[in-house]
Structure 1
């Protein structure tokens, strides 16, 4: 019996060893990724559109990374301490890190990035890091000192707040720096080439600080304009991965049934994206709350969820994502009701003419593919039913960004990462002191409400979790009643990938992670 058990154990151990050998990461290989649309640039902080982040996060890194529950983990910071009063954050940096040009990574780079660079170029980072004084204790220790507590700070070192080289950017015009065309980071992959209209090529960083990584030799991000061709490239194995706007969502279920492909919706916990239509409240009739409410009643959010986004979405009820611990469900509801919409328009004096038309407005659509074109077209059809004629304005990614940040729109459609904490990703859209013309993803609409400002500011510095929930509950009720923007749906992005590709989604940033430990089986 003993020898039989030993024999069985030997077989089991042999099978386990074989399984482990089969799962051992393989070095080498070229990852082929779809990327659409082609981004206007990939310099971190300056270009924050979704298509820019995918390659950017392979080149640059931050102090921390986050798991699916948004708990922080070491990255360029190997450890950190937070003072009992919540006013001092001390980070110990890794000592064996080099920039892609060979220069050493030091505390100077961190102080410059969070104390200067991001303050100027990044709207959300500015709202966070203006609260802190960043200083250097020694070459590998930095301190963030706050005048008042700001609990969300530890969750602020995300993929939009990546560190840049001081020696290449200090004293320059950040947006015109020639290094923006060939970014230099500390990440597992180096920028190699951008062939406009075709691809971005990243090559392995052989001097990466994590021993033995990355596994991949290189990554190609290929621009394929036609949605059907992008799906076909995955189907035939020419491409290994696609996510976000890369695929038409009606293709995802079909692709998920193919034996060589897998699908996951994990990895967007950090962003909590919400689709909405922003209105320029400086202009009539958008300045009238009744007009905004009428449009909310005219739109069918279920149609966006079920038809346009193919179920990869959830009806949005306000500015805070339902996954957030600060979400307030008890807000005014805008379920489609054409009679309510018409009554509000009548009350405003916008009576229909002989053709049933009350007014004409313009919508700047998001130029990220057919899904967004259908969203804009449905909006036009839905508002026409209550006498609002919509003129659709086409654009390209760079043009959309330029017009939106310069307030050159009547209505503009997009999706925004709202983060898990309203102080990080929500308040920037509504705070009156964040009306920054020329800066993307700020308060483009021109919304201003002193009560909302006070609630957001008080909640940001409170250290009492229950008090913060109550404050954010109040602010959500006000903003939803004001119809400050037209909330549509919360996005649930699918990532479709070849089963040969391993370690695709390992944390809250999903396919926007560094891919240092991603690998391809033969």
Structure 2
């Protein structure tokens, strides 16, 4: 069956209440244990190993397959996961984690501290955008026994305890990856994890099917029999699927926000914006700082003045968000509001370009720039089109370039763009999720690093000093100065602090229980009668 035909049949079957039969899905929705949760994954992920791909669709699905040492409550305090307990030395330099002794990989092999060591020391440094900035601070990482891991820092690093969620440290099976080309290992597509759900099948263009891990180390869990993530490229079909009950869960950008406002009010459904506290994403426009005229901060400042960010917030995001003022989300620790302000002003934007000597040609064009459009639905497409419209008013022609998920990631990682619309996670502390995009040491050809190539030695010093400072008041002073410098330089045009609706069948219980929301393991999720 072709993908388009499948999507039509998905909606039709949901409307008729017959869809369960085609995948052998149980109807035990009234029981605490049993049933299949159908959800959306949009766009289809390039792979299912989130230690390699940090794209949201990969994280969302793989968070049920893999686990990390910890997870985090709504207050961002650590909670157990693979680590049943942990201690921090009085000097703040030694972190000791005690692993669940009954944890196993999905192929039956025991999960041990050796897997954690392999992941942190050999796997993540090759593939992960934040591993160097986080675990590179360790003087040593050791395993005194099969179920204990000790991280010893060279100097105190207060945010360290916040770095053990599933996106920062997804523990990988050493016996599957050691001695292989990890980026080409076939298990990236058919993963073997330690989480509550096991990979069953992935039918490209159709669905990803996960089933209960009967050997999960938590007795009696998970409650659900299976999870099925449906690939439904068409926005209208996704909206109809949740309305008709074909799927019971949508998240992130699954629904266009104008649909989310309406659908979230339906009597059989509930909506929440909780569960994104750890991520606190900011929608921004990355600007490649390497090439003229983008390498001139006056050009970048002009871009900020030329975009009416209220239009994006109110007309494209339908009020789900707040105008961003700089690199730190106002929900994240050490936010600084007293930074340079960029009001919407075409006159100011043109004046900056005139000051640069960037004169328009006979057609009124000052510059041409490329903007790859990520395949994340109408919201992204409309925002990119709006940015093109805005910049055309100051003589900057924006060429929108269509991409698929894989080629988009590769282009950005290889710095093959001029502008790039994106939103990144903040992970509760600037040292974990913010400075990675601005420090010179993290200019790398890996997604979600400093791919814009921004370099300011003073920013580097402030970021380094703030990361190791233990007093919050001193950290605030350092991060405030850092934010003021970055906002002056505008390496990235910050648009909106985003909020996302999670819409779900009211029968679902324990769905959003932590600050990582739908990226959680779902081991306690169940359907209530």
TM-score, length-scaled by structure 1: 0.94
Q: Tell me whether 92-101 or 169-178 shows the greater mean CA deviation.
A: 169-178
Unaligned runs of 5+ in 1: 1-22
Equivalent residues in 2 for 1:390-429, closer than 5 Å: 390-429=398-437
Residue pairs, 1:480-499, within 5 angstroms: 480-499=487-506
Answering whether residue 200 of structure 2 is matched by residue 195 of structure 1, we say: no
More divergent stretch after superposition (291-300 vs 163-172): 163-172
Q: 1:310 aligns with which of 313, 318, 321?
A: 318
Deviation at 1:34, TM superposition (A): 0.9
Partner of 1:18: none
CA distance in 2, matches of 1:504, 1:81: 29
1:5-35 CA-partner distances (Å, limit 9, x unpaired): xxxxxxxxxxxxxxxxxx9961110110011
- Whether the aligned pair in 2 keeps the contact of 1:37 and 1:245 (CA below 8 Å) is no
Within the alignment, does 1:456 sit opposite 2:463 as a pair?
Answer: yes
Provide, for residues 236-263 of structure 1, a one-character-per-residue CA deviation record: whole Å limited to 9, x for no partner: 1111000112110000111012100100
Does 1:440 find its partner at 2:447? yes
Name the SS of the counterpart of 1:481 in structure 2. Answer: helix
SS of aligned partner of 1:245: coil
Q: Deviations over 1:119-178 (max 9, x none)?
A: 221111221011112100111111000111111110001121211111111222211112
What secondary structure sits across from 2:76 in the alignment?
coil
Aligned to 1:153: 160
Structure 2 residue aligned with 1:207: 215
**2:150 equivalent among 143, 155, 174:** 143
The aligned residue for residue 349 of structure 1 is 357
Change (3 A) 1:359 1:259: same
- Whether 2:523 is the aligned partner of 1:516: answer yes
Structure 1 residue aligned with 2:11: none
Question: How many angstroms apart in 2 are the aligned matches of 1:122 and 1:464?
Answer: 29
Q: 1:45 aligns with which of 46, 51, 59?
A: 51
1:98 matched residue in structure 2: 104
Partner of 1:337: 345
> Where does residue 268 of structure 1 map in the other structure?
276
Give the 3-state SS of the residue equivalent to 1:117 in structure 2.
Answer: helix
Deviation at 1:362, TM superposition (A): 1.5
Deviation at 1:325, TM superposition (A): 2.2
CA distance in 2, matches of 1:121, 1:134: 19
CA contact (8 A) 2:36 2:224 kept: yes
2:22 maps to: none
Separation in 1, partners of 2:98, 2:125: 22
Q: How does 1:114-125 map to 2 (within 5 A)?
A: 114-125=120-131
CA contact 1:25–1:215 (8 Å) conserved in 2? no
Paired with 2:38 and 2:227, the residues of 1 have a C-alpha distance of 6
Q: Under a length normalisation based on structure 2, what TM-score does the superposition of the two structures give?
A: 0.93
- For the 8 Å contact 2:332–2:426, the answer to whether it is kept is no
Shift of 1:294: 0.4
Q: Specify the alignment match of 1:130 in structure 2.
A: 136
2:14 corresponds in structure 1 to: none
User: Within 2, Cα distance between the matches of 1:420 and 1:314?
Assistant: 18
Instruction: Report the CA distance between 1:516 and its aligned residue.
Output: 0.2
Deviation at 1:464, TM superposition (A): 1.4
Query: SS in structure 2 opposite 1:33?
Result: strand
Query: Which protein shows a greater Rg?
Result: 1
CA distance in 1, matches of 2:247, 2:410: 31
Aligned equivalents of 1:348 and 1:275: distance in 2?
27
- The residue that corresponds to 1:55 in the other structure is 61
**1:172 has 2:197 as partner:** no
> Could you tell me how far apart the structure 1 residues matched to 2:274 and 2:464 are?
31
Output one character per residue of 1:213-243: Cα deviation in whole Å (capped at 9) or x when no partner: 1110001000011101100001011110001
Alignment of 1:232-243 (within 5 A): 232-243=240-251
Q: Say whether 1:476 aligns with 2:483.
A: yes
- Looking at structure 2, the residues matched to 24 and 455 of structure 1 have their Cα atoms a distance apart, in angstroms, of 55
Task: Provide Cα deviations, 1:422-443, integer angstroms capped at 9, x if missing partner.
Answer: 1101111111111112x11111
Distance of 1:463 and 1:213 partners within structure 2: 39
Q: 1:220 aligns with which of 223, 228, 236?
A: 228
Describe how 1:360-375 pairs up with structure 2 within 5 A.
360-375=368-383
Q: Number of residue pairs matched?
A: 499
* Residue 356 of structure 1, CA deviation: 2.8
CA distance, structure 2, for counterparts of residue 328 and residue 365 of structure 1: 31
The whole-number CA distance in structure 2 between the counterparts of 1:272 and 1:410 is: 25
